[in-house]
Amino acid sequence: MTDQRTGERRVGVNEGSRAWAEEAVAVLTEVASHYQGVITYAELAEEVQTRTRLRTGSPLRNWIGGVLATVVARCHAEGLPPLTSLVVHGRGKEGGTEDSTAAARFTCYRRFADDIPAEVLAAVVAAEQAEAEAAADAARERRSRPATRSAQPRERRRPVPEEAPKVCPSCFMQLPASGICDDCG
């Protein structure tokens, strides 16, 4: 069913998902072109539905995850940075960003944004160089360390053979710890 006023067509989630995922990559690339750019789930959903002219009546929470999973797969396959890290729950909400999310977002900005402040870029490059040098130093130290194992192979402990049980010479029963046969006395 097509809305005559907007030209949008009502579709089910399965029918619209592929088109929405394709458009989501384009939207997220645009968001990544501005340093510290993010987009909410609701804004992304509205934008992809508007651009594709495919609209669903299904609640956002029922379909946006599948669309973003397709975006993740495409980013991975095409060597794109993790664009889905730019999607947030809401603007202005308190709460820290995890380091891994911040690093993923910066990877996106670095690839697509022209407006990253020079001092931010310089600080990140310096941190990356320091990290690389520390890793190289650690690798050199591991290679130069003497082996912790001795050159001589260790002798294995030989199992101590169990003693044969003592038996009574007259009835041939195993003797108790006292050494006196319970049957013969």
Residue extents of the structural domains in the chain:
9-131
Flag whether pLDDT at 93 surpasses 60.
no
Contact status, residue 81 vs residue 111, Cβ threshold 8 Å: yes
0.75 cut: is pTM over it?
no
d(CA 20, CA 5): 21
CA distance 105 to 81: 8
User: Which residues lie below 8 Å from residue 15, measured CB to CB, with a gap of 6+?
Assistant: 54
What are the CB-based long-range contacts (under 8 Å, 24+) for 47-50? 47/23, 48/19, 48/20, 48/23, 48/24, 49/8, 49/16, 49/20, 50/8
pLDDT computed for residue 141 by the predictor: 82
Mean pLDDT of 67-86: 96
Other CB atoms within a 10 A radius of the CB of residue 146 amount to 5
Provide the mean pLDDT of the chain: 87
Please give the residue that has the higher pLDDT: either 54 or 96.
54
**Highest mean predicted confidence (pLDDT) among 48-52, 132-136, 150-154, 163-167:** 48-52
